[in-house]
Structure 1
Amino acid sequence: MRLIEVRTLALVSAVALAACSSGGDTGNQGAGTQGKAAGKGDGGQPPQVGYVVVQQTRVPLMTELPGRTFAYQSSEVRPQVSGVIQKRLFKEGSLVRQGQPLYQIDPSLYRAAVNEASAAVQSAQATAAAARVRAERFRPLAEIEAVSKQDYTDAVATQRQAEASIAQNRAQLETARVNLRFTTVPAPITGRIGRSLFTVGALVTTSQADPLATIQQLDPIYVDIQQSAADLLRLRRQLASGGALPASAAVRLKLEDGSDYGRTGFVEFSEVVVDQQTGTVTMRARFPNPDGLLLPGMFVRAVFAQAIEANAFLVPQQAVARDPQGNATVWVVDANNKAVQRTVQTVRADGANWIVTGGLNPGDRVITQGTARLSPNSTVRPVPASAPQQPKPPTPEQLKQQQKAKGG
């Protein structure tokens, strides 16, 4: 009995060992089949990728810089004569025109000065008339030596002094009239006037520190833009080397709430000195402001093209990746339909594209779809990007299943 049990146990072990060996071979064959299928790709063909053909183009180098708004014209309303304000002739915050009366200063003293100067002119005219008659009477008498020539000379000099006195008094009269006119304080420019700093009854003088009010012209309006001297120097070198071309001076604005101003301005000039405290150069742009939306002192962002990149490529952003060193790379399909990875130089993003200035050639086919399955020098099946996918041919197993389904 014991011998039979030993033989039976040996037989069971042999069967189990054979079963394990058979299962292992089956697993290895399945793994080999899967690896072979993965190497061939879908239907045994190279992977399909979408590409775009890139060409050199001119791309504006857009810059966004901070800026602040300033009034196109600003004038302080100041008295040119001293006196007490009798009337305020404008509404605070309103639009005033150049020459429009704003304040009325008490004119009593200045009107009296005009009358006094006018009387002085009349007195001088009377004196001059008497001196002229005396000189004319002395002329024939001096010729016949009835009076001495010295007396005649003195009479002529007195006449001339009287005529000069008339001119002097007329000038004083004109000054008095100007001062009288200055008692009405006019608007020096057309613009929006602010609050009045002096009320009716206040005494104002020509030497006071504070203005009566301030007028600002807001249409058009200035925007002072600050750019670092280093960026400006880099741009000028790029322009000098021919790598970039000068751009137009058109500027767009972004307001403090992030919205677009909607109107286009133009750069008028750039300062020729660098601010020693900030290291920036100021550029001034002028914008139309018919609605008065822009007010002096507002912070804005100016967006404009300072130059045009003459030899740039626009590459879709999904085609650009980064290697472990942080360099920008793209996949390109070569003449043998193999995937080649290249390092490119990117400047910045422009909408849905990257601006590439190096690493590509005109006519290159840059892969934008299917890059996740690529490896260097692998064969690919290129099609234009976003082209309709071709239907995959059925495998032999799928054909057998379809025939069985029809037969069943």
Structure 2
Amino acid sequence: MKTTNNAFLKPAVVAALSALFLASCSGGKEQGGAPAPGAPQAPAVTVQTVKVEELAMVAELPGRTSPYLIAELRPQVTGILTQRAFTEGSEVKAGQVLYRIDAGPYQAAFDSAKASLARAEANLQVARLKALRHADLVKIEAVSKQANDDAQAVLKQAEADLAAARAALDKAKIDLDYTQLKSPISGRIGRSAVTAGALVTANQAQSLATVQQLDPIYVDLTQSSAELLRMRREIEAGRLTASAKGDVAVKLLLEDGSEYSAEGRLALSEVTVDEGTGSVTLRAQFPNAKGVLLPGMYVRARLPQGTRSEAIRVPHRALSRDTRGNAQVMVVNAENKVEARPVQVAQSLGSNWVVTGGLAAGERIIVDGLQKVRPGAPVQAQEAAAEREAGASAAVAPK
């Protein structure tokens, strides 16, 4: 009986061992190549297909607003302020009286100078008549040449006295006019540093108030000299086409991230590099009829820099840095495995990096799921939603 049982058990043992061997040779997969239950799955990632395109390059530069015109009011004569003739923070016109200084002493000086001028004119008349008589008498030797010379000298002195009297009257008139401080420009006036009753002095260091013209308004931008050199080299190499010379449009981003409604124009480009910052100043001019832009505001300006004929846009989230700080992206190859690819980046443009080297058209870069992958690992790649929709539209479009 024992011999008979062993004969029946041997085929069963052989069949079981054969099944185990076949399972191990199949790599843990079920029939049809599907992963066996419990086997690790390749992570799913979202990819974007690389496209080479022509891009209009735009530099986003930091800057601050500054007044188009600015005038600080300082007294030209000494005296007591009798009136402040404006409302702080209001709009004023050129020639509008803003302050009045006690004009009494200057009116008296003007009247005195006017009287001195009248006396000088009278003295000149007397001296002229006397000189004419002596000029006639000396011809018939009725007076000596010395007397004639003295009369002619007195005439010239009287003419000089008259000129001095006129200059003194003009000076007195100017001082009298300076008792009314007028705005030299139209614009918005700030707060007053003095009130009525204050003593002010001629050419004092402290200004009484400041008037600023804010429409139009300037925006002073800074761009690094290194960036300018890089752009020049790329233009010379033919990789970047410079914008046309002439009127350059500039767009403005406000402090809250919103875009300013009006478009400005580039007005000035400095020719000297700031030694402290290594940057060049650019000045743009913007209309400001509604007074949205105020002096000193921090803004960012978008300035066209030319056109790059073969550029690649890579989303910010798809680019990372290696341990040395070099830019790289993760590429899914034809075998659906991940490769770390170093790339050359020109600049940031909106929500993308502009890549100029390291990628080719048609390659797939990982834009979502980077935290789940490593170089050499297999992945399940699916196109980004925008590209899937574009592909579907192309598929159903009539031919």
Relative to the length of structure 2, the TM-score reads 0.76
CA-to-partner distance for each residue in 1:261-303, whole Å, 9 max, x for gaps?
A: 2322222222222222222222222222222122111222222
CA shift in 2, pair 1:219/1:8, >3 Å: same
User: What are the within-5 Å matches in structure 2 for residues 5-404 of structure 1?
Assistant: 6-7=2-3, 9-14=5-10, 16-21=12-17, 23-24=19-20, 56-57=53-54, 59-247=55-243, 249-309=248-308, 311-314=309-312, 327-328=328-329, 345-348=344-347, 350=349, 355-358=354-357, 386-387=391-392
Query: Conserved in 2, the CA contact under 8 Å of 1:52 and 1:384?
Result: no
What do residues 321-377 of structure 1 show as CA deviations (whole Å, max 9, x unaligned)? 8899964576799xxxxx9x998655356457664434678xx655689x9568xxx
> Aligned partner of 1:130: which letter?
V
Structure 2, unaligned runs of 5 or more: 35-46, 367-377, 382-387
Q: Is the 8 A contact 2:312 2:356 kept in 1?
A: no
Contact persistence 1:346–1:355 (CA under 8 A): yes
Aligned match of 2:371? none
1:47 aligned partner: none
Is the Cα–Cα contact under 8 Å of residues 60 and 247 in structure 1 kept in the other structure? no
Query: Aligned with 1:136: secondary structure?
Result: helix
Tell me if structure 1 keeps the 8 A contact 2:327–2:343: no
Percent identity (aligned): 42
SS of the residue corresponding to residue 386 of structure 1 reads helix
Query: Contact conserved, 1:312 with 1:356, CA < 8 A, in 2?
Result: no
SS at match of 2:260: coil
Bigger drift between 123-132 and 20-29 goes to 20-29
TM-score using structure 1 length: 0.74
Q: Which amino acid in 1 is paired with 2:212? A: Q
- 2:120·2:158 contact (CA, 8 Å) conserved in 1? yes
- How far the C-alpha of 1:105 sits from its partner, in A, is 0.5
Residue 152 of structure 1 aligns with an amino acid whose one-letter code is: N
- The structure-2 alpha-carbon separation of the partners of 1:28 and 1:75, relative to structure 1 and needing over 3 Å to count, comes to same
**84-93 vs 8-17, which moves further:** 8-17
* Structure 1 segments unaligned to the other structure (5+ residues): 39-49, 334-338, 375-382, 391-408
- Alpha carbons of 1:167 and 1:31: their partners in 2 closer, same or farther (altered >3 Å)? closer
Query: What's the RMSD between the two structures over aligned residues?
Result: 4.0
Contact 1:349/1:355 (8 A) holds in 2 = yes
Looking at structure 2, the residues matched to 389 and 61 of structure 1 have their Cα atoms a distance apart, in angstroms, of 28
Paired positions, count: 361
Which stretch of structure 1 is more off in the superposition, 208-217 or 229-238?
Answer: 229-238
Q: Is the 8 A contact 2:60 2:302 kept in 1?
A: yes
**Structure 2 CA distance for partners of 1:389 and 1:210, relative to 1, 3 Å:** closer
The residue type paired with residue 173 of structure 1 is L
* Amino acid of the structure 1 residue aligned with 2:307: I
